Chain A
């Protein structure tokens, strides 16, 4: 008998199977069957405590192609969770997160999230990854797995070291929406700027696109939860908070002084396929004052990470405004 036959006991209730179309918004819902390195939430599906983190949904197979929309969010709590588990260098600024989503054994999509940095605090960042599933990829008694992880391929030098390691830790999966295809149900998809000079193009995305490039304030280092008894009490923590706010404001002020000019003539765009690790040649077909028109090859199989680099090299991470890009809807 295969292993798994004895996983149940007499007191196990057969797991209820969700019907499609389904919108799963809470970790305590019966549709959320299995979690791996993830804490179940009540208003959200869950938050990752490790990298990679997986959630398994129990849904009835539709025997039709499915569209899966996974809503991710990076918030302050997630950044703190990441800081306490990864324990980065205290001087290292908060770097954007690149998470790769896999499902049913294959890489399906990716997302780049970077928090919006303000004078006193940072806001959150949301992203929705949409991908199709073939009809035969979900069987009877099966699970629909969605796994978040940092990229498994080696990133080229224009991207290596620019992202947070173990990027899945602390990320929230807010909701997962499952619709049988073809579907007219809209998917929540905020087309905000990524907050960093990277963006992800889905595998089935357009071959030509226009990208707006602007600047955003820099990010200070990640706050760490104090561990010693004297540092974890309120007076010490109040002092730390004041110091952090001052550090944040100083970095922002210094960045404002250097200005936010973007010269599109100096910009180059690189691409890498996140599923295979192969470089993707990106052609810049047009340059506007704040935008670039890009053309990519049509034979892509996985999500592509695009990175914008400047001729003068990388900007100083904590004291200069950073590049940020956004896909403008519609081909060039």
Chain B
């Protein structure tokens, strides 16, 4: 990992962590293991994995096996620096028994085919990798990401770097199969589920019926979980989650919408002024919304439309480009690739002169695309007066919301943000929230074109709108995403506690000085684990609120105190005192 922190601060933190976890984990005399990945360079990502894994170890004693390592293409494309020794030090501080550098191991195996990983004192014999189809799919997606291209080049099969990618994938898959086929893995904790180094481990885990915990890189501690009992085996990891999240939303959250309304409204207000956003959303002065009614919107719309040469009286459809090489195929997509969706939609827009189209780039696309894809599509359609291509960073949210009548994306966050404020969105694919009834999710390409046709007609009639239910669902989703499924614990500072020295100081103080009784982390993980829930939650979503507290603010009246009725005290784990593990050393 890459960590620019004071060395003294780091050592202080490692000492604090070692001491804390020594006393907070049960003795590890079981043969079970929990596999944790540490391939990401940002320490915050790995910390979330390690903390979650240790929380599972309190329920289910197991050895901690950390997989790490860095490969040349990853280092060149994504990481600023990667120090495997640092990963080892941090993992040992968190009580890891084995830290395996997988790429190093692959190198050893190239020289000596009998080399294999050593886990919990046992040398494992390397198994066969997964099938060709799976390996090819992951190699293709990873190649696109690392080469920063929107689609595989036509001659990819002959390129040496592609072949190297395939060989690496096969080697990684063999290692993962080895680890998971032992039958003693209690869980896999990973921050990503795509690309070869992460995705192939998830594949092996699922086939070996091992629960997979997918931690998120935002908030305090957020995690999704795919447990074998609920894994139908028919879709990708994210496809399975989409279904389960939809079920949780429908069965446990939607019936409670009246209790949660006040909380959801507060979160919707805070989201407008750009508070509580996911870590990858843009911040800054251009990301807060001040508009509050249609008259103000129309006034600003007149000015903003003039910038693009648009007629404010005609509907405007905004198409939000994706980071074109970002996890291709990770969930259902209607088109062969994100780039195909964008280019085909642009071609459709060129024909539909009865609407106006605003194509926005992805603010981080330089990190995902080296071919100038957006610029090339813009160049192709430059002669059309009813289409505009614009960098999204140069459009403030006020301007965007005043102009957009319909949003189009595949799985972008705009499809849960815009409907919360009354702007309809069409999704040409699935995402975490696509089963929650927030946006219009279409299931195949024909339906996609048909829905666009109908939407344009409806827009001309003034009937293109969201229903009140969609708004409520979207706001409830915002609550679930930012509050309900975001666990607050002193052991994991919020994502924005940065730079690294601040983060280490904060965590070190938690390890040294905050007593762990009723730390929300442990009961929450226990609840998720025992109930096999698809997401980690602050409180049990099914339980009604513990006690009535402040009444919801009447509309139009300012209040400084938010509602707390929905945040009950976390239920203490029956019988166990979290401060004293059995058999303290």
Contact = CB atoms under 8 A, between A and B. Distances in A.
Interface of B: 261-262, 265-266, 268-269, 272, 285-286, 289-300, 302-304, 306-307, 394, 396, 398-399, 401, 404-405, 420-423, 462, 465-466, 471, 475, 552-553, 555-559
B405 A11 contact: no
Given A52-B307, A105-B303, A7 B401 contact: yes
A50 B394 CA distance: 7
Interface stretch (A68-76, A115-123, A137-145): A137-145
Given A4-B294, A6-B466, A10-B553, A56 B299 contact: yes
A36 interface: yes
B422 A4 contact: yes
Given A105-B303, A147-B303, A5 B285 contact: no
Given A1-B465, A4-B294, A40-B285, 16 more contacts: A5-B294, A7-B289, A7-B292, A9-B272, A10-B266, A12-B556, A13-B558, A34-B296, A34-B398, A35-B285, A36-B304, A36-B399, A56-B296, A56-B300, A142-B299, A143-B296
Nearest to B406: A3
Given A11-B265, A145-B299, A6 B286 contact: no
A141 B296 contact: yes
B467 to A, nearest CB: 10
Contacts of A37: 286, 394, 396, 399
Chain A, interface SS category: loop
Contact of A54 (B269, B300, B462, B465): B300
Contacts of B471: 6
Contacts, number: 133
Interface size class of A (residues with CB under 8 A): 35 or more
B296 A54 contact: no
Nearest to B304: A36
A14 B556 contact: yes
Contacts of A35: 285, 290, 396, 398
A268 B291 CA distance: 48
A98 interface: no
Q: In the A-B complex, list the 7 residue pairs whose CB atoms are closest, starting with the nearest.
A: A6-B422, A4-B294, A10-B265, A4-B297, A11-B269, A141-B295, A34-B290
Contacts of B292: 7-8, 12, 14-15
Contact of B285 (A7, A49, A52, A105): A49
Contact of B268 (A9, A38, A39): A9
Nearest to A8: B292
A33 interface: yes
Nearest to B424: A3
Contacts of A102: 303, 306
Contacts of B303: 52, 54, 102, 105, 145, 147
Contacts of B298: 4
Given A35-B290, A36-B300, A140 B555 contact: no
Given A39-B285, A40-B285, A139 B399 contact: no
A29 to B, nearest CB: 13
Contacts of B557: 13
B401 to A, nearest CB: 7
A2 interface: yes
A33 B285 CA distance: 14
B424 to A, nearest CB: 9
B552 A10 contact: yes
A145 to B, nearest CB: 6
B434 to A, nearest CB: 20
Contacts of A14: 292, 556
Contacts of A15: 292
Contact of A36 (B294, B398, B420, B558): B398
A43 interface: no
